[in-house]
Structures are given as C-alpha cells and as structure tokens.
C-alpha cells in the first residue's frame, strides 16, 4: 500500500506566516535605518498582508509614511494602531503628532485628550508623553488662532473694518469705469463675516458698517427688496426677523436704539444703484417705500444712480428717464435737507433740460452733482424733474414779461453750496446761462458738452483745483470773452482742455499773455488739441509748473507754422502720452533723457516714426546706478510702462533688448503686418 505524504498542520502554517512577516518587518527596519523609506513601506506592507492584525507593523509603516511626507497615509495607519490597541498610548501619540504636523490642531487636541481617557493610569510613561504632547498642541493652537485684532478695542476694530469696506468714489461708476466685473462683485462685509463667529457677530451688530446700500439690477434682480430690508435692520441696530416684511421698521425704533453717548449716526447714508434699468418697477418703488417707512431718508447723504452696465435697449432707455425722475422726486420730497452728493450715470447721451443752478437750489446742502454720459451713444436720456426750473418755461415766461414794460427783471438766484459740478457726455443743458455768482465755492468743474455759452461764466470760477473743459460747438464760443483764467487757474491741480478746434489754443494764448504760473499743477491733458511749442513752454518746470507729473498729448497736432513740437523741461514728469501724433520722432524721445529725468511711463502707440534706438537710450538712462558689491545682479530700468503697440519701425532685436532690461510686463508691443492681414494670417507676434 502506497504511503500518503504528510499534510502541514494548522499550527505549522501559522508559525511559517509569522516567520515570513517577521523577516519582512526586519528587512523593513533595515531599509528604514538606511533612509530607504519607500523600500521600507513596501516591506512593511508585505508584512501587513501576511499578518494584518499586528499593530507593530502599522506603527512602523506610519513612521515610514511620515518620513516620506505622506501624512494622510501615515494617519490612517496610526488610527489602525488605535483600533487594534485602544489602551496603548503609542497610537494616540503618533496620530496626534501627525495631526499637529498637518496643522489640524483642534483634531489633534481632541484625539490626544481621548487617549488620556483610554490609557490606564498605571502606564505613567504613556500618560506623561500624552500630556506633554497635549500641552505642545495647545500652545501651537493658541499661537495659530491668535489674531492681532483680538487685542484691539471694539471701536477701533469696527473703524478698521469700516475703512476696509468703504465704497469707491462716485467716479467709479462712470462710463469710463464700468463697475461690472466677472465673476460678479462680492460683498466685502459678507466675506469678513465668514472669518469667525465673533467677527460675524460684531459686524452684524455694528450699524455704521451697514450705512452703504448697493443694489444691482442684474445681481440683485430677485432679492433687491429683501436685501434692502436686511440692510435697514442692521443699519438701524435692530435684530433680524425672518418673518418681517419690512413694514415694521419705524422711526420710533431709531430713537430707542440710540445708545447713551453714541454719536454714530444710524441709518442708510449712501445708496448706490447699478444697472438700475434692470430693477423691476415694483421692486424699485418698494425699495423707496421701505426707505421712507424706516425713516432713513433723513440720514441719506449720497446717491449714485448708474445705468451703465445694464441692458441697453429702447425699452431700457425709456426706463432710465422714468427711474431717474421717480428717484429725483423721492429725494426732493424726503431728503431735501440732507443730500450732499448726487450722481447719475447713463450709457447714452445726456439731455438735462433744466438750469444747473436749480438742482443745487432744490437741495440746499448739495455739494456735488455729477452727470456722466457717452457722446458716442445713439440713445439720448432726457433728465427731467417737475421741481427743477425748466429752461423752455423760463424762456417763455421771459418773453411774456417783456411785453409789460413795468415788470421788473427776475432777481439773480442766491449762492449755492456747490463744490463739484460734472456734466459729461451731454448734448445740451438748459438754454439759460449759469451765473458765476451762484457758484462761489466751486472747486471741481468738469464739462464735456455741446453748447459752451450755457456754462461759459463758470469757467471764471475762482480757485478751482480741477478744470476740465471739453466744449464742442465753435460758434457758441468764438464771440464770447475769454474767461478770467488768472482767478480760475490760481490753485489748479488738474487741467484738461479740448473739444472745439480753437478753444485750447485760445485759452493757452491768453494764459501766456498773463504770464501765468502753475505751482500746484500735477496733471495736464491737452489731447486732440492743436498746439505749438510756445504753448508747451507755458508748463516748463524751471519757471512755471515745477510739480507736473502727468502729461497727455495724445492725438495732438501742430500749428500751421510748425512741423514738430519741442517739449519743455519737465523735471517732475512721471507719465507721458504722445500716442497717435505725427510730430513725435526719434529726437523727441531722445530729448526725454535730458528733460524728463524721473519718467516712468511712456506711451507712443501708433507712431510710425519711432525706431528702437532712442527708446533703448531712454531705458538705459533710467537704469539705477550699480550698487557696490552687487556686480553680478540684474539692473532693471525704472521705467514701469512702455506702450509701443503699432510702432512698425521698431526692430525685433530692439524689442527683445527692451524686454530684457525692464521688469516683466513693462514692454507692450504688438504689430500686424497689413500683408499678413490681407492674406488671412493672424499671427500677432506678441512680444510682451
């Protein structure tokens, strides 16, 4: 009879697996000590596959993973050690250290504290190590969670948040500065409320942080009324009630909520409507009703109504006039004595058919009135309000009165509180002149309109700091006397002239005859003007304009007797724009090296006469001197912007040199060969 082979017994197989696991573990330890951590992980994994219930193997692999920087894998193995040995301190200790290394201090503190509860008291060494680790974690957590704001008084903290979330100036919502951004604008207060619960509580409970209400016809198309209610509640210091419909926000609450010694005005002080034509009519009316019922119309100081970034259709254009009229009537009825600033911005051309003086008389405290429009639009926005003096009605009344010889002339309007007046993108304003006597405090005047005779008197306003006059319609200005420039330009900081062909030259010639000086002037814009070297010499830094920093001569032309303009000495100039000019040549650029020693920005876009050499000389001249001991360091030019698009005579080698000697992004150059355009090849060759 044939003998059967001996079968391995169960105990023999277990001993064999244990031996294999031990061999892999020992080899893994050798690889770990030799800093071959990946090999160690592989060997420990083999050992675990053989003996998956051995906590020692998981602890060893967790250590190897830790050395490799794989904290997540190491933490999984450390938690497996805790699962297999819940009363041993080793798993808790390693897991806590891994969480601490990953800066998960709260989780690490919770896990080590749990380990102190599970480890027996007789394990004094383990308890001691866990307590030391817990103290280390708590110290790190305290430092990580420390915020410098935590030591500030509440009033200073709120003031800092108020400054950080302050709204942009009204000019931010003009046609030139469209507020729409992608993605949609975020609310800075909402972002700050997400920092912590304490921040959220403080911000919600600080009425002065909610005094600016921004409503957008696209972003807030569905929740404009709800947002208004929430802002009113917080601006008045009330608790939020989700069941409130906004009808219970009354004047009495304002009186009872004012704290003793609290001088902070409560309520909405600033309202900004953007894309207003897209706000539904019922919602817009409801918003105004809520403002009235809440009693905040007496605290309203600034209103911005912008139609720039919304839909532009015939219907929306009609909506502009109705919304503007509704808002103006509302403000005149409820905020007449408190409104300080009013801005209306439209994507079309403006037609304010009222005397500009009357808007200031309608609001006695009004200091700034701004109308921004677009002269290139096909739409015309007719701005009217029944309480404003209509030009046509005044003219008709004057004709009727003229038939009666015994009727006295109407008295002059009283002085207004006007400090800023802006009318741009306008077709015509009222057919009666603005009286200089009505604007004795005017500091900023910005006009861009057709019909100069209407506002001609205002160009003599004394002590202006901002004088922008772009007036079209030559026949309206030729017969008028030159304004009193000696008074209106005495403290000038910003000057812009343009529009009618002879207007800038006429003003500058008169300034030359008066030998005017511009000791306060910092920015000058003469774009699209017909100039002479004699005109530019008026702003020489050595004698008349020592602080001029920005000069715009884009699209300017020369007078009949000159072929090129010679720039004066401009020692303080930092920015120069001579784009699209025929008089600019290589010698003009070379002159900048001597005459503009502080120049940082240069724009010569579309100039067909500029070559690379003069621009290279300018960049080289603006390089800082080499510092002793830094012989090998790269010295970039102090030029921060070079706009060279369309300069087709610039050599490729010159552009590459300019890029290497300026900081990244300074050189802006793009050229399309007309031959390539005709052939359909659109390789634009961006070199910046």
- Check residue 539 and report its DSSP letter: G
- Check residue 644 and report its DSSP letter: -
Distance CA 279, CA 285 (A): 10
Looking at residue 244, its pLDDT comes to 43
- Check residue 441 and report its DSSP letter: T
Which alpha helices (DSSP H) does 258-313 contain, by range?
Answer: 281-294
Do 615 and 593 meet the contact criterion of CB atoms below 8 Å apart? no
Do 25 and 44 meet the contact criterion of CB atoms below 8 Å apart? yes
Looking at residue 310, its pLDDT comes to 80
Looking at residue 311, its pLDDT comes to 80
* Residue-wise pLDDT tens digits, 661-687: 999 989 988 754 444 444 444 343 333
Looking at residue 314, its pLDDT comes to 74
Distance CA 685, CA 646 (A): 12
| Residue 136 in this model has a pLDDT that exceeds 70 | yes
**Segment holding 508, helix H or strand E:** helix 503-514
Looking at residue 509, its pLDDT comes to 93
Give φ, ψ of 274 to 5 degrees. Answer: -120, 150
Distance CA 312, CA 601 (A): 36
Q: 8 or 618: whose pLDDT is higher?
A: 618
Distance CA 232, CA 229 (A): 5
Q: 331 is written with which tokens?
A: 């403000």
* Residue-wise pLDDT tens digits, 403-441: 444 545 556 778 999 999 999 888 888 777 888 999 999
Q: Please tell me the least confidently modeled range out of 39-48, 96-105, 385-394, 496-505.
A: 385-394
The mean per-residue pLDDT over the stretch 225-238 comes to 91
What SS3 class is residue 239? Answer: coil
At residue 480 the predicted structure's pLDDT band, cuts being 50, 70 and 90, is confident
Question: Helix, strand, coil proportions of the chain in percent (round to 5)?
Answer: 45, 10, 45
The mean per-residue pLDDT over the stretch 370-381 comes to 84
Give first-to-last CA distance, the chain, whole Å: 94
The mean per-residue pLDDT over the stretch 1-6 comes to 48
At residue 245 the predicted structure's pLDDT band, cuts being 50, 70 and 90, is very low
- Mean residue pLDDT of the chain comes to 83
| Residue 398 in this model has a pLDDT that exceeds 80 | no
User: In DSSP terms, which residues pair with 577 in a beta bridge?
Assistant: 552, 603
The mean per-residue pLDDT over the stretch 473-497 comes to 88
Do 496 and 466 meet the contact criterion of CB atoms below 8 Å apart? no
Helices 224-235/281-294 angle, 10° precision: 10
The mean per-residue pLDDT over the stretch 540-559 comes to 93
The mean per-residue pLDDT over the stretch 197-226 comes to 90
Looking at residue 352, its pLDDT comes to 85
Question: Among candidates 179, 129, 413, which has minimal Cα distance to 309?
Answer: 179
The mean per-residue pLDDT over the stretch 132-140 comes to 91
Q: Please tell me the least confidently modeled range out of 344-358, 391-405, 578-592, 646-660.
A: 391-405
| Residue 551 in this model has a pLDDT that exceeds 50 | yes
Do 232 and 262 meet the contact criterion of CB atoms below 8 Å apart? no
The mean per-residue pLDDT over the stretch 4-19 comes to 60
Distance CA 349, CA 545 (A): 35
Q: Which long-range contacts (CB under 8 A, 24 or more apart) does 312-321 make?
A: 312/347, 312/348, 312/379, 314/379, 316/277, 316/278, 317/277, 317/348, 317/379, 317/381, 319/277, 319/281, 320/276, 320/277, 320/346, 320/348, 320/381, 321/381, 321/382, 321/383, 321/384
pTM confidence score: 0.72
- Check residue 369 and report its DSSP letter: E
Q: 685 or 586: whose pLDDT is higher?
A: 586
The mean per-residue pLDDT over the stretch 489-505 comes to 86
Do 606 and 579 meet the contact criterion of CB atoms below 8 Å apart? yes
Distance CA 308, CA 170 (A): 13
Looking at residue 683, its pLDDT comes to 41
Looking at residue 9, its pLDDT comes to 54
At residue 368 the predicted structure's pLDDT band, cuts being 50, 70 and 90, is very high
At residue 22 the predicted structure's pLDDT band, cuts being 50, 70 and 90, is confident
Looking at residue 679, its pLDDT comes to 43
Instruction: Name the burial class of residue 429, with classes exposed (0-12), middle (13-18) and buried (19+) by CB atoms within 10 angstroms of its CB.
Output: buried
Distance CA 197, CA 552 (A): 50
Looking at residue 477, its pLDDT comes to 76
Looking at residue 412, its pLDDT comes to 72
At residue 397 the predicted structure's pLDDT band, cuts being 50, 70 and 90, is very low
Beta-carbon neighbour count of residue 336 at 10 Å? 15
* Residue-wise pLDDT tens digits, 262-290: 445 578 999 999 889 889 999 999 999 99
Distance CA 504, CA 485 (A): 12
Looking at residue 435, its pLDDT comes to 87
At residue 302 the predicted structure's pLDDT band, cuts being 50, 70 and 90, is very high
The mean per-residue pLDDT over the stretch 514-536 comes to 93
| Residue 392 in this model has a pLDDT that exceeds 70 | no
* Residue-wise pLDDT tens digits, 249-269: 433 333 333 333 344 557 899
- Helix count and strand count (H, E) for the chain: 23, 19
Instruction: Name the burial class of residue 508, with classes exposed (0-12), middle (13-18) and buried (19+) by CB atoms within 10 angstroms of its CB.
Output: buried
Instruction: Name the burial class of residue 142, with classes exposed (0-12), middle (13-18) and buried (19+) by CB atoms within 10 angstroms of its CB.
Output: exposed
């Amino acid at each position: 009879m044939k003998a059967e082979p001996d079968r391995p017994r169960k105990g023999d197989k277990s001993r064999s697996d244990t031996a294999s696991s031990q061999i892999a573990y020992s080899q893994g330890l050798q690889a770990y000590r030799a800093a071959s951590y990946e090999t160690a992980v592989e060997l420990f994994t083999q050992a675990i596959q053989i003996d998956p219930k051995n906590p020692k193997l998981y602890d060893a692999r967790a250590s190897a993973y830790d050395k490799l920087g794989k904290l997540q894998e190491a933490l999984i193995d450390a938690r497996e050690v805790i699962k297999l040995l819940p009363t041993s301190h080793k798993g808790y200790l390693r897991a806590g250290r891994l969480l601490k290394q990953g800066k998960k201090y709260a989780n690490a503190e919770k896990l080590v504290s749990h380990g102190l509860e599970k480890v027996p008291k007789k394990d004094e060494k383990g308890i001691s190590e866990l307590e030391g680790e817990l103290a280390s974690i708590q110290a790190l957590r305290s430092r990580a969670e420390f915020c410098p704001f935590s030591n500030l008084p509440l009033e200073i903290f709120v003031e800092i948040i108020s400054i950080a979330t302050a709204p942009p100036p009204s000019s931010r919502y003009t046609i030139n500065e469209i507020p729409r951004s992608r993605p949609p604008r975020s609310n800075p207060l909402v972002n700050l409320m997400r920092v912590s619960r304490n921040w959220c509580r403080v911000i919600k409970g600080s009425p002065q942080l909610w005094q600016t209400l921004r409503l957008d016809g696209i972003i807030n198309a569905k929740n404009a009324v709800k947002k208004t209610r929430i802002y009113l509640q917080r601006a008045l210091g009330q608790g939020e009630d989700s069941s409130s419909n906004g009808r219970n926000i009354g004047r009495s609450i304002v009186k009872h909520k004012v704290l003793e010694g609290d001088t902070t005005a409560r309520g909405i002080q600033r309202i900004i409507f953007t894309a207003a034509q897209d706000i539904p009519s019922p919602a817009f009316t409801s918003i105004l009703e809520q403002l009235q019922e809440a009693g905040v119309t007496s605290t309203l100081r600034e209103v911005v109504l912008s139609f720039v970034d919304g839909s532009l259709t015939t219907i929306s254009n009609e909506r502009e006039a109705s919304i503007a009229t509704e808002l103006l009537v509302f403000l005149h009825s409820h905020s007449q004595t408190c409104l300080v600033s009013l801005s209306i911005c439209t994507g079309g051309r403006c037609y304010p058919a009222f005397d500009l003086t009357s808007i200031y008389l309608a609001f006695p405290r009004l200091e700034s009135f701004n109308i921004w429009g677009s002269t290139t639009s096909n739409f015309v926005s007719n701005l009217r309000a029944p309480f404003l003096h209509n030009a046509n009605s005044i003219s008709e009344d004057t004709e009727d009165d003229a038939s009666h010889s015994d009727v006295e002339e109407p008295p002059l309007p009283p002085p207004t509180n006007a400090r800023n007046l802006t009318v741009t993108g306008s077709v015509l304003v009222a057919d009666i002149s603005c009286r200089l006597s009505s604007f004795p405090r005017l500091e900023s005047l910005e006009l861009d309109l057709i019909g100069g005779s209407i506002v001609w008197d205002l160009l003599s306003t004394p002590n202006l700091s901002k004088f922008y006059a772009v007036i079209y319609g030559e026949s309206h200005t030729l017969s008028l006397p030159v304004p009193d420039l000696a008074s209106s330009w005495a403290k000038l900081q910003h000057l812009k002239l343009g529009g009618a062909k002879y207007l800038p030259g006429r003003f500058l010639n008169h300034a030359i005859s008066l030998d005017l000086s511009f000791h306060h002037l910092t920015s000058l814009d003469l774009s699209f003007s017909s100039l002479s070297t004699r005109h530019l010499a008026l702003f020489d830094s050595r004698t008349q304009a020592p602080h001029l920093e920005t000069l715009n001569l884009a699209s300017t032309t020369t007078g009949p007797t000159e072929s090129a303009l010679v720039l004066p000495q401009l020692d303080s100039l930092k920015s120069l724009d001579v784009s699209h000019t025929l008089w600019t040549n290589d010698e003009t650029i070379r002159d900048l090296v001597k005459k503009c020693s502080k120049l940082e920005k240069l724009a010569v876009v579309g100039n067909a006469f500029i070559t690379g050499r003069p621009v290279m000389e300018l960049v080289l001249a603006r390089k800082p001197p080499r510092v002793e001991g830094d012989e090998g360091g790269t010295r970039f030019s102090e030029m921060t912007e070079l706009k060279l698009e369309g300069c087709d005579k610039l050599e490729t080698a010159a552009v590459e040199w300019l890029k290497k000697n300026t900081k990244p992004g300074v050189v802006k150059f793009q050229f399309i060969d007309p031959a390539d355009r005709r052939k359909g090849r659109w390789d634009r060759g961006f070199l910046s």
